[in-house]
Amino acid sequence: MYIAIAGNIGSGKTSLAEILAERFGATPHLENVDNPYINDFYENMGRWAFNFQVYFLSCRIRQAVEALRSGGDLIQDRTIHEDAHIFAVNLLEMGLMSSRDFDTYMNIYALSDDLIRQPDLLIYLKASVPKLVEQIHRRGRLYEQNIDEEYLARLNDKYNNWIENIYTGEVMVLDIDRCDFVKDPQIIDNVSARIREICPA
């Protein structure tokens, strides 16, 4: 079973990964927020965009390959596809990553197609910018507190386009503005039922 959880910064990916991992007796594979470039990136995105993105990409490729080779269930917080189709593309369009760096990055990303299969189910946590900002402030990571709302809005546009027009796998969308899966166990029951339907034991 390979379940991936996608969504913008602050959408609740880690929380859902941990809840589902407990429900299915699996180990959650969480995003490594200890990226050594993260503080530098938020201080000077143009200078550190390539380093920042390549570090995340390498971590996610290694994480997915190791988990899938072990034969265990994988519940992953964010995918390599988001790194490439959303974050890297956005940095290129904003002029924060050069076309040369972007091409190099995408060549590295392309190697992952031979290493990592598509998730059995991608759960997309869709949220408005005000909801993202609310949840970012609540979790209190210092380096995220001054994230520009326009930046979050651009990422939201990229996510919606990716889900609607690019991604070809099985998708379940949770509208985080309308459902609180932490407080409402019925939502988790519904998600779990969909997973069992797609990945019968």
CATH assignment of the domain containing 16: 3.40.50.300
Q: Judge whether residue 5 has pLDDT over 80.
A: yes
Predicted pLDDT of residue 67: 72
Q: Which of 34, 73, 77, 113 is labelled catalytic?
A: 77
More confident residue, 81 or 31: 81
Predicted pLDDT of residue 140: 59
Cα–Cα dist 97/85, whole Å = 14
Q: Is 157 a catalytic residue?
A: no
Cα–Cα dist 42/5, whole Å = 24
Q: Judge whether residue 42 has pLDDT over 60.
A: yes
Coil, helix or strand for 76? strand
Tokens read off for 154: 């651009």
Q: Which domain holds residue 80?
A: 2-198
Facing residues of 150 across strands? none
CA end-to-end distance (rounded Å), the chain: 9
Q: Judge whether residue 32 has pLDDT over 90.
A: no
Q: Judge whether residue 34 has pLDDT over 70.
A: yes
Domain tally, the chain: 1
145 CB burial (10 A radius; 0-12, 13-18, 19+): exposed
More confident residue, 56 or 138: 56
Cβ 136 vs Cβ 8: under 8 Å: no
More confident residue, 167 or 114: 167
Cα–Cα dist 4/8, whole Å = 13
Cβ 7 vs Cβ 13: under 8 Å: yes
pLDDT band at 30 (very low <50, low <70, confident <90, very high): confident
Cα–Cα dist 65/79, whole Å = 12
Predicted pLDDT of residue 192: 94
Predicted pLDDT of residue 139: 73
For the stretch 132-185, pLDDT in tens is 988 887 775 655 666 778 889 999 999 999 999 999 999 999 999 999 998 898
Residue 6's φ and ψ, nearest 5 degrees, are: -115, 150
Cα–Cα dist 4/121, whole Å = 6
Residue 124's φ and ψ, nearest 5 degrees, are: -100, 120
103-109 average pLDDT score: 94
